Amino acid sequence: MQENRIHNMGYAVQKRNDFISIVIPAWNEKNRLPNYLNQWLVFLPGKFDEFEIIIVDDGSSDGLFEELIKRTEYGKYLFVLRRKHEGKGAAVKAGMLKARGDIVLFCDADGATPVEECTSLYNKHVESGAPIIIASRNANSGANSVKNSFFRHFIGRIFRLIVTFLTDLRFYDTQCGFKLFTSHAVRMIFPKVTTPGWAFDIEVLLWAKKFGLPVFEVPVSWHGMKDSRTKPFRDALPMLLDVIRIKRLVGRP
């Protein structure tokens, strides 16, 4: 698999006539998602000929689903899938397989990555022709990340080293919730994904590697958010166990 890290994204896209799908998994995000959704609805018109936004409600209990379906101003562009709570990986998979776009981007509901970074990923797709472009929050890649605690950064660095050792995935950041795929890559990878939790990104990238799909990594601006859904102490061990399981699964002939 081709893996490249791109540091300078200072060029403009001349052609954006793709149909793009934005997939947003959400669990109890009633207070944050509507604002982020509005940002997408301002950003996308004029950038792409066609677009849709798919919200996958992962069994929210805070009234998120009811809030979304009453917002008629979102019109024909918004689709909401309501599911029982299974985890972020399961929610992303459901949304990706529902998407109709030529290009499909999934992002976290908290709005930590600005919608404008869609341009960085899409530009790299157009310039390189790569079917998968992933965002990096790591400062070593040229990313601009702020408001991230030293402890969370330290745990993330250790996790990245372990993942690299176990999987040989040599990316600065496998876990950033901002990734772009062509529809062909979606159809190849996501029917295979089995991980319902946070480690699903690792499985996605390992399937890409197995299928020989080039993956480019692009630095992005990113803002650490309060009330993060990931908890280092609670999630670290289950994620590592998932990584070991995923490596065995994807490594099969």
pLDDT per residue as tens digits for the range 70-107: 877 777 899 999 999 999 999 999 999 999 999 999 99
* Distance from C-alpha of 150 to C-alpha of 153, rounded to nearest angstrom: 5
Task: Residue 95: name the closest of 64, 42, 53, 134 by CA.
Answer: 53
* Distance from C-alpha of 188 to C-alpha of 101, rounded to nearest angstrom: 15
* Distance from C-alpha of 84 to C-alpha of 179, rounded to nearest angstrom: 24
pLDDT at res. 205: 96
Prediction pTM value? 0.85
- Domains (range + CATH), the chain: 3-250 (3.90.550.10)
**For 137, what's the count of Cα atoms within 13 Å in the CB-facing half-sphere?**
21
Question: What is the band of 239 on the pLDDT scale with cuts at 50, 70, 90?
Answer: confident
DSSP string over 176-187: -SEEEEEHHHHH
* Distance from C-alpha of 177 to C-alpha of 108, rounded to nearest angstrom: 5
- Compute φ and ψ for 214, nearest 5 degrees: -60, 140
pLDDT in tens, 26-46: 999 999 999 999 999 999 998
